[in-house]
């Protein structure tokens, strides 16, 4: 296995010294508190942005909370490109607060709009609740684009981990006409096959923020019915074809149980004719985007993501709002 980046080594040493309980040993409510406290401790102070608005998207299950960010330096009247962002946390943890720093930074780097989705969590709301909320959020952004100051022709979906899973599903739904098609899908160390059979589940069993055991805990809560785990809305890698989905950016980390399945997904997207940018960091671990106080590479990754978004948006008929 490749060596760990020194920043990740320091992170893991800090976690060992804290003697924190593994998330999978905690009931969901306690795990959520631990996860949110960890994100607050491991992220720098939040960037100032031009505007923040809390919104809600209607859905049959009730309003889906959203948080809209407009990047620093953007004009209030401008119709900006937009990234609809789905947070990570294994469909069990996380919310708009846990990923506030990430969304603020991306809004500022792109000088665009980021809309974060606070979808329902398992086990209280198992599959497909998160998919339904993510779909309702994307449909709302397109329907209300003018009032939100968003350009629907320059819209992307993205997320990390479980959020990357949801973003991939939305891209497939956009391809099939169930949702508006987006210009790009940003998949940051995504989970794409909940059968959990890839090599990473044999390699990463201890010593990392995310292990095979943690993923089993998440999947058991999110998709308790085993037969549903092969549904493409849970496991986008199980879709019959990926052809025609939005151009993709796929990030993978070497010390991550999701690494192999996500790299395979990027290769399959390419084989199916989808333009793909695949960024593999062999010395990094899962979850680093919300650990940027210690892992300096996190800021570099977000800058890379921002540049990729700006390039794609420029190809969709504008130069963004730089």
Q: Which residues are catalytic?
A: 161, 256, 286
Other CB atoms within 10 Å distance of the CB of residue 135 = 24
Q: In what order do the strands lie in the sheet with 184-188?
A: 51-57, 64-70, 113-117, 80-86, 150-160, 184-188, 248-255, 276-285
Helix spans in 211-296 (H): 212-222, 259-271
Mapped onto helix, strand or coil, the DSSP state of residue 310 is helix
Contact in structure between 172 and 190 (CB atoms under 8 Å): no
Contact in structure between 57 and 63 (CB atoms under 8 Å): yes
Alpha-carbon gap, residue 95 to 118, rounded angstroms: 5
- 77 burial (CB, 10 Å; 0-12 / 13-18 / 19+) is exposed
Proportion of the chain in helix, strand, coil states, percent, rounded to 5: 40, 20, 40
Alpha-carbon gap, residue 268 to 80, rounded angstroms: 31
The residues near 239 (Cβ < 8 Å, ≥ 6 apart) are: 172, 232
């Amino acid at each position: 296995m490749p060596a760990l980046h020194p920043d990740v080594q320091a992170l893991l040493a800090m976690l060992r010294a804290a003697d924190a309980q593994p998330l999978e040993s905690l009931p969901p409510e306690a795990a959520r508190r631990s996860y949110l406290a960890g994100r607050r401790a491991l992220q720098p102070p939040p960037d100032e942005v031009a505007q923040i608005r809390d919104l809600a998207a209607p859905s049959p299950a009730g309003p889906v909370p959203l948080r809209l960010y407009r990047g620093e330096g953007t004009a209030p009247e401008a119709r900006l490109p937009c990234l609809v962002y789905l947070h990570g946390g294994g469909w069990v943890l996380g919310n708009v607060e846990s990923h506030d720093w990430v969304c603020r930074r991306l809004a500022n780097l792109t000088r665009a709009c980021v809309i974060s989705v606070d979808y329902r969590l398992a086990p209280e709301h198992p599959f497909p609740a998160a998919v339904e909320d993510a779909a309702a959020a994307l449909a709302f952004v397109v329907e209300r684009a003018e009032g939100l100051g968003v350009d629907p022709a320059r819209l992307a979906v993205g997320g990390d981990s479980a959020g990357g899973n949801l973003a991939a599903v939305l891209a497939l739904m956009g391809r099939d006409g169930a949702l508006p098609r987006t210009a790009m899908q940003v998949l940051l160390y995504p989970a794409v096959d909940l059968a959990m059979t890839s090599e990473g589940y044999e390699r990463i069993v201890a010593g990392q923020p995310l292990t095979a055991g943690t993923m089993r805990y998440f999947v058991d809560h999110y998709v308790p019915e085993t037969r549903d785990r092969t549904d493409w809305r849970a496991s986008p890698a199980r879709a019959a074809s990926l052809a025609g989905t939005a151009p993709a950016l796929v990030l993978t980390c070497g010390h991550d149980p999701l690494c192999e399945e996500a790299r395979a997904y990027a290769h399959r997207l390419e084989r199916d004719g989808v333009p793909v940018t695949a960024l593999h960091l062999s010395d990094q671990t899962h979850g680093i985007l919300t650990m940027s106080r210690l892992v300096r590479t996190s800021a570099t990754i977000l800058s890379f993501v921002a540049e990729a978004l700006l390039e794609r948006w420029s190809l969709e008929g504008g130069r963004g709002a730089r």
